[in-house]
Amino acid sequence: MPAVTPDNWREARDFDRVDPAASPLRLPALQHDGGAERAPGSTFKIVSALGLELAAQSDRQLDALLDGLPLAAINAAAHERGFAFRTEAPTYPVDGRARITNFRDQGLDRRARDGRLGLAQALTYSLNTWFAWTGELSDRSLLGRPDGGVPDLQPLEPGALDPVRPIVAMARRLGFGQALRLDGGLLPADFAWSAWDALQATPAAIDPIHTRHELRQMAIGLRMQATPLQMALVAGAVGQGRPIVPHLLAELDGKPAAPSNGPALGVRLDRVRAGMKGVVDVGTAAGAFRAPALAGIRRGLSGKTGTAPVGDGALATVWFTGWLEPHSVAGQEHRLAVAVFASRSEATGGGHAAPVAAAVLGALADRMQPKGAK
């Protein structure tokens, strides 16, 4: 929102009355209510992909799956281990009562590249059943079994399950469960923070997991709440190779903030980056960035769409998040992370949120273009 002035006061006042949580007149406007309709949907698959990469460091079979295997080999591996997963099936488990379903009931076979399917293709085309199954394979609470295990493990303290549940471990590393403080280290160490401070963002949170199906839902970004800031940080971390420490306070008493980043993610990023580049080039967001005027942005942009149904499924929370490489538009010296969020949409992330991102980035490119240039 623009600054509130006498010219737009009436509009801002009316907006304040209708939607106070999003009002530009209130401190909470800089935050997020973290409510039940704030699931990140498939944008969380970025986190899941990083968690799978973490698990694959000690699991050669999972690493081979992420790299891409022939479809027949994937089906044979699932059958050998007793999992009701098949690449041609639109649901997983194929015959289960509680199932994960692919978008428009599609099988995975048509998304294979040269007959092989791996993490890059699963991200590019947002393949729900693949992430649900590989999420199970990565989770040690399930003991490598197709049923049973102990998915109801609950942590007694934050991080207790990190060695067992790598997707949750990666989410914590990226900021989930933590109230991000945006003071740039400028406020005193003993500053008395409160929940509604404008410089403290609402933490993203993952709901407790009690069943195997709930674990599958988590892997595709359901049963959780996330802020747009958090999802921009997730995408930016893949581009940067390490978590970003954001700040809104630039200076205090003449002292500037000292920007810093977290430690390196420490996992393979090439497969995740390839999948996110594919989202923009040929995948779920390709239509939004197809215009010739966006060619420069398209070359430098990687991202992920998300669609999380709400209520009876007629509406959805829709997302696009990604990062733009430096010099993708004139005068852009730094990597830029972006997140677009729309609640109660009748469309998908690719059909609603990604076009908003395209419009905003296109306007940015126009604004930064040198005068007289065409």
pLDDT in tens, 318-342: 999 999 999 999 889 999 999 999 9
| pLDDT score for 37 | 72
Average pLDDT, the chain: 91
In this prediction, residue 312 has a pLDDT band, given cuts at 50, 70 and 90, of: confident
Alpha-carbon span 53 to 109, nearest angstrom? 23
Give the pLDDT of residue 18: 64
**CB-count exposure of residue 332 (10 Å: 0-12, 13-18, 19+):** middle
- Regarding pTM above 0.85, the answer is yes
Angle between helices 60-67 and 45-56 (to 10 degrees): 130
Give me the pLDDT at residue 7, please. Answer: 87
Task: Choose among 238, 242, 339, 333: nearest CA to 285.
Answer: 339
**CA distances to 32, 40, 227 from 35, in Å:** 8, 12, 10
Q: What is the pLDDT of residue 202?
A: 83
Question: Tell me: the pLDDT tens digits for 8-32?
Answer: 888 777 776 666 666 655 544 445 4
pLDDT of residue 30: 46
Task: Give the pLDDT band of residue 371 (cuts 50, 70, 90).
Answer: low
Region 37-47 average pLDDT: 93
Residue type, 263: P
Half-sphere exposure of 250 (CA within 13 A, CB side): 0
Instruction: Kindly list the distances between the CA atom of residue 229 and the CA atoms of 133, 145, 168, 221, 246, in Å, as whole numbers in the listed order.
Output: 28, 36, 18, 16, 9
CB atoms within 10 A of CB 180: 18
Position 102 pLDDT exceeds 90: yes
Least confident of 37-51, 187-201, 297-311: 187-201
Supply the pLDDT for residue 34. 46
Question: What is the mean pLDDT of the segment spanning 263-280?
Answer: 98
pLDDT band at 36; cut points 50, 70, 90: low
Stretch 136-151: mean pLDDT = 96
First CA to last CA distance, the chain: 29
Structure confidence by residue, pLDDT tens digits, 176-203:
999 889 999 999 999 998 776 778 888 8
For position 8, what pLDDT does the model report? 82
Distances (CA, A) of 361 to 10, 12, 235: 29, 25, 16
The pLDDT value recorded for residue 69 is 98
How does pLDDT run across 218-234, given as a tens digit for each residue?
Answer: 999 999 999 899 999 99
CB distance 164 to 171 below 8 Å: no
Q: Residue 118: how many CB atoms within 10 A of its CB?
A: 20
What pLDDT was estimated at residue 149? 95
pLDDT at 156 over 70: yes
pLDDT at residue number 33: 46
Asked whether the predicted pLDDT for residue 121 surpasses 50, the reply is yes
| C-alpha–C-alpha distance, residues 86 and 81, integer Å | 12
Cα separation, 209 vs 217, whole angstroms: 9
Of 126, 124, 138, 125, which is closest to residue 65 (Cα–Cα)? 138
Quickly state the pLDDT bin for 35 (edges 50, 70, 90): low
Which one, of 33, 124, 105, 131, lies nearest residue 343 by Cα?
Answer: 33
Q: Return the higher-pLDDT residue of 154 and 13.
A: 154
Q: Which amino acid is at 304?
A: K
Are 320 and 339 in contact by the 8 Å Cβ rule? The answer is: yes
Tell me, what's the pLDDT at 13?
Answer: 74
What pLDDT, on the 0 to 100 scale, is given for residue 28?
A: 47
